[in-house]
């Protein structure tokens, strides 16, 4: 399918002339149907620098017929415009006094296919001063609309001027009439490519008949680099917004279905495709920006700190070159499986695994080749019961047991879907800059307790003691059970700069929660829990709203009163939680946890709980009793929890609308065996009361009258278990500056820096 699309796109063989500037856009090729007037095919570009730029501009119509393209435009009109002024035009590339031999020579120089003598294709060579320009391709001589290819070539990429953005606007159809664009990057200097496919955003500029839900796919070398059809659902949404401001692009509205992607530049040719995500048609604008990486003087805030520095320390696979045999780039489940086998079997065989693109890793979808590998690290997890997507894909449990240090990372915030990373019986593992997604389904089996499927995004020590793990700059959506669960014996772990977003697509029809609700709604009577809610005042929208948040976040100590829980140690810092129901770092059974710079925003969860309570209040006493005692459907809104003698220290953090920011018992408040030690220092707490007033404090939990808690069991004075002071040095930010820090630094695909930085532990 990909080869057919490339053939139909008629992408040329790109040729870079001379020593181009690093990270430079050098040409563009866009294919779409060209109509008259406002539905013409438009290509925009910007020349930056101080000197003119020499360019070859072409529009192919009749020439496409020799490549098997049906419905090609019979006669092409090409116009070059700046600020509404027509600068040049052509129809008939070698007619009307144009220098056909010079145009043919320029085409040969850049490797472009030849136009037939006398054809109604169009071409121009120009030398343009810095500024913004537009090419307009439309039917000439009353020709009917047809498929056209507009091309832009930099004839002198070594000149002291460059192309900094390219764009194409066209009417997007279906099948072969989607918008397809190719462009080339000469060199790579750590800059970024910002790509946007906009439809709804164009209405503000008076464009009618826009593509209502554009989907953007980016390819390089036959590999899908990234896909997006809801710009804020992308892991790189924050970066896309900031880069858009930097390059002067118009802002995308929050929640709009416009699409955007950010990828780090690499040399070579790219293909971008724009189509209707829902099969729709309409006018869309594709933009490609060369966005230089901002100069950053220090990344020291991202240094590894915390308990993961204890013992032998955590280095992962270390700093090695991409050409090293121990460095594996994986684009498919099979490549990942083979890389893990090499890391798991032989010390040092594979030390770094770079995830190049999103990976769907369910036990069914990975394919027979993965399942047939001797000692394959992929196992089938508990079988999905209800989610229509997971029933098709299956769920995998992926064993990660390296015999030497191992780093698994993505440079672009790639997603891992339908799988649990099971890190067991090992040490010195680093997981960075990945998004974990699509591992949740409705729980009929345990009536909302979510105890039937042990699906966590990451398990630590599930099958063998594990130590020295660093999980950094990851994004976590909504999973069935826990986000990261620590089994007994796990120690020396740090989680830093992670973001927890719940169902990140809850506002659109393709969210994972909405997919589940649609399946349940189709046969409500078969699902007693769901049917009870639907027949007793809860709408589908109510259920989606309440279930947008994630239930259980982090559990440390799977078994109650397990003596091996005493060695549990972890540091959580710069963690950004939204829509979190429970265990916001963490629920601890014994052991020691240090939290600093947590930002827990339960504003949406509090509203969801009050919505639930409003619906419940309208029920009879008998129905309320069933809702409250038969089914679990009420966010508890707990924050940090210390139990069974465990010690949790929280420093310089923020809790918004959290009912119980600190808890010291979650099992039996009358039995001190189940009580832990917990304390907050210099922490902000804000709570929106039901009567409209707001409680807001900053201070310590030991201050007189502090609303931070804990309030469950008699307070045990705080002390560490097994030591007096923390065994590492750290720097905590002022809590009033925390949100701004997290907005530019937390989660996958947000930090823009050289790829090699993901292999470092200090900066």
Tens-place pLDDT, residues 697-744: 999 999 999 999 999 999 999 999 999 999 999 999 999 889 989 988
Which helix (DSSP H) or strand (DSSP E) does residue 47 occupy?
Answer: strand 41-49
Point out the least confidently predicted range of 334-348, 506-520, 547-561.
Answer: 506-520
Cα 74 to its chain centre, rounded Å, is 43
Measured CA angle at 25 (ends 13, 69), to 5 deg: 40
In a domain, 20, yes or no: yes
pLDDT at 682 (0 to 100): 97
Range of the domain at 253: 2-291
Check whether residue 417 and residue 284 sit in a common domain: no
pLDDT at 21 (0 to 100): 38
The DSSP secondary-structure symbol of 46 reads E
**177 or 72: whose pLDDT is higher?**
72
In a domain, 433, yes or no: yes
Could you tell me the pLDDT band of residue 1, with boundaries at 50, 70 and 90?
Answer: very low
CB of 367 within 8 A of CB of 334? yes
Question: Is the peptide bond prior to 191 cis by the omega test (within 30 degrees of 0)?
Answer: no
In a domain, 319, yes or no: no
Domain end, chosen from 257, 291, 325, is at 291
Measure CA of the first residue to CA of the last residue in the chain; give whole Å: 44
Could you tell me the pLDDT band of residue 98, with boundaries at 50, 70 and 90?
Answer: confident
CA atoms within 13 A on the CB side of 93: 29
- CA gap 22, 267 in Å, rounded: 9
From the CB of residue 438, how many other CB atoms can be counted at a distance below 10 Å? 22
In a domain, 686, yes or no: yes
Q: Partners of 598 in the beta sheet? A: 575
pLDDT of residue 295 exceeding 80, the answer is no
In the chain, how many domains are there?
Answer: 2
Q: Which of 496, 27, 543 is nearest to 288 (CA)?
A: 27
For residue 696, give the CATH number of its domain: 2.160.20
Check whether residue 282 and residue 419 sit in a common domain: no
The DSSP secondary-structure symbol of 119 reads -
pLDDT of residue 328 exceeding 50, the answer is yes
Burial of residue 13 (CB within 10 Å: 0-12, 13-18, 19+) is exposed
In a domain, 388, yes or no: no
pLDDT digits (tens, 9 = 90+) for 565-616: 999 999 999 999 998 999 988 999 999 999 999 999 999 999 999 999 999 9
pLDDT of residue 7 exceeding 80, the answer is no
In a domain, 362, yes or no: no
Catalytically active residues, by annotation: 583
Mean pLDDT for the stretch of residues 172-181: 89
CA atoms 588, 590, 591, 594: torsion sign: positive
The DSSP secondary-structure symbol of 21 reads P
In a domain, 298, yes or no: no
Could you tell me what percent of the chain has a pLDDT over 70? 95
pLDDT of residue 385 exceeding 90, the answer is yes
Domain end, chosen from 291, 320, 340, is at 291
Check whether residue 421 and residue 553 sit in a common domain: yes
Could you tell me the pLDDT band of residue 236, with boundaries at 50, 70 and 90?
Answer: low
Burial of residue 345 (CB within 10 Å: 0-12, 13-18, 19+) is middle
pLDDT at 646 (0 to 100): 98
CA atoms within 13 A on the CB side of 323: 0
- CA gap 402, 618 in Å, rounded: 55
Name all contacts of 64-69 with Cβ < 8 Å and 24+ positions apart.
64/10, 64/147, 64/148, 64/149, 67/7, 67/10, 68/7, 68/8, 69/8, 69/10, 69/147
Domain end, chosen from 291, 310, 333, is at 291
Single pTM value for the model: 0.67
pLDDT of residue 128 exceeding 50, the answer is yes
Could you tell me the pLDDT band of residue 458, with boundaries at 50, 70 and 90?
Answer: very high
Mean pLDDT for the stretch of residues 657-663: 97
pLDDT at 16 (0 to 100): 28
Check whether residue 56 and residue 202 sit in a common domain: yes
pLDDT at 506 (0 to 100): 66
Could you tell me the pLDDT band of residue 235, with boundaries at 50, 70 and 90?
Answer: low
pLDDT of residue 72 exceeding 80, the answer is yes
Helix or strand or coil: residue 86?
Answer: strand
Q: Partners of 29 in the beta sheet? A: 151, 182
Which helix (DSSP H) or strand (DSSP E) does residue 237 occupy?
Answer: helix 237-247
In a domain, 361, yes or no: no
């Amino acid at each position: 399918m990909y080869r057919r699309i490339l053939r139909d796109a008629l992408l040329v063989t790109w040729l870079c002339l001379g020593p181009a500037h690093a990270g430079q856009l050098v040409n563009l090729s866009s294919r779409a149907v060209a109509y008259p007037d406002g539905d013409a095919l438009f290509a925009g570009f910007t020349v930056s620098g101080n000197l003119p730029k020499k360019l070859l501009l072409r529009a192919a119509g009749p020439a496409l017929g020799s490549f098997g393209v049906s419905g090609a435009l019979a006669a092409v009109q090409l116009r070059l415009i700046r600020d509404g002024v027509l600068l040049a035009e052509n129809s008939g590339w070698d007619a009307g006094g144009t220098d056909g031999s010079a145009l043919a020579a320029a085409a040969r120089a850049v490797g472009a296919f030849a136009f037939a003598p006398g054809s109604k294709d169009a071409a121009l060579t120009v030398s343009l001063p810095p500024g913004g320009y537009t090419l307009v391709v439309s039917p000439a001589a009353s020709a009917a609309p047809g498929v056209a290819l507009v091309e832009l070539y930099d004839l002198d990429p070594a000149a002291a001027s460059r192309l900094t953005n390219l764009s194409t606007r066209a009417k997007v159809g279906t099948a072969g009439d989607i918008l397809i664009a190719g462009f080339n990057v000469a060199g790579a200097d750590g800059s970024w490519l910002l790509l946007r496919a906009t439809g709804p955003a164009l209405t503000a500029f008076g464009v009618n008949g826009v593509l209502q839900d554009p989907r953007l796919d980016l390819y390089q070398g036959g590999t899908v680099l990234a896909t997006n059809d809801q710009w804020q659902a992308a892991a790189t949404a924050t970066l896309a917004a900031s880069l858009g401001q930097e390059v002067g692009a118009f802002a995308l509205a929050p929640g709009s279905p416009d699409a955007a992607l950010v990828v780090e530049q690499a040399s070579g040719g790219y293909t971008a495709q724009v189509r209707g995500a829902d099969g729709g048609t309409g006018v869309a604008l594709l933009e490609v920006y060369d966005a230089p990486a901002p100069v950053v003087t220090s990344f020291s805030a991202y240094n590894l700190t915390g308990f993961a520095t204890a013992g032998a320390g955590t280095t992962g696979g270390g700093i090695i070159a991409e050409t090293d045999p121990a460095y594996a780039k994986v684009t498919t489940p099979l490549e990942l499986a083979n890389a893990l086998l090499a890391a798991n079997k032989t010390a040092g065989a594979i030390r770094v695994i770079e995830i190049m693109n999103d990976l769907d890793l369910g036990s069914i979808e990975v394919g027979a080749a993965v399942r047939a590998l001797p000692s394959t690290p992929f196992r089938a997890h508990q079988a999905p019961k209800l989610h229509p997507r997971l029933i098709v894909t299956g769920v995998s449990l992926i064993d990660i047991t390296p015999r030497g240090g191992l780093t698994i990372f993505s440079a672009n915030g790639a997603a891992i879907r339908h799988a649990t990373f099971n890190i067991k019986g090992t040490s010195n593992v680093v997981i960075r800059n990945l998004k974990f997604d699509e591992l949740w389904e409705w729980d009929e089996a345990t009536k909302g307790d979510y105890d039937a499927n042990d699906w966590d995004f990451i398990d630590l020590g599930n099958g063998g003691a594990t130590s020295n793990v660093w999980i950094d700059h990851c994004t976590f959506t909504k999973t069935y059970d826990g986000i990261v669960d620590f089994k007994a014996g796990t120690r020396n772990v740090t989680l830093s700069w992670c973001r927890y977003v719940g169902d990140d697509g809850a506002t659109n029809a393709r969210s994972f929660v909405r997919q589940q609700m649609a399946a349940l709604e189709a046969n409500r009577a078969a699902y007693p829990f769901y049917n009870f809610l639907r027949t007793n005042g809860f709408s589908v929208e109510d259920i989606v709203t309440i279930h947008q948040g994630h239930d259980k976040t982090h559990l440390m100590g799977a078994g109650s009163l397990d003596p091996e829980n005493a060695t549990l140690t972890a540091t959580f810092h710069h963690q950004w939680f939204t829509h979190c129901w429970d265990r916001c770092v963490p629920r601890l059974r014994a052991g020691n946890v240090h939290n600093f710079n947590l930002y827990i925003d339960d504003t949406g969860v509090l509203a969801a709980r009050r919505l639930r309570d409003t619906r419940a209040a309208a029920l009879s006493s008998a129905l309320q009793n069933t809702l409250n005692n038969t089914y679990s459907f009420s966010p508890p809104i707990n924050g940090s929890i210390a139990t069974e003698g465990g010690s949790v220290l929280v420093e310089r953090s923020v809790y918004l609308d959290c009912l119980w920011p600190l808890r010291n018992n979650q099992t039996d408040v009358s039995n001190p065996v189940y009580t832990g030690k917990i304390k907050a220092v210099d922490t902000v707490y804000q709570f929106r009361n039901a009567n409209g007033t707001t409680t807001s404090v900053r201070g310590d939990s030991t201050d007189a009258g502090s609303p931070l808690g804990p309030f469950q069991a008699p307070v045990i004075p705080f002390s560490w278990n097994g030591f007096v002071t923390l065994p590492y040095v750290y720097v905590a930010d002022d809590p009033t500056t925390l949100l701004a820090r997290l907005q530019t630094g937390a989660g996958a695909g947000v930090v823009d820096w050289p790829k090699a930085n993901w292999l470092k532990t200090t900066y």
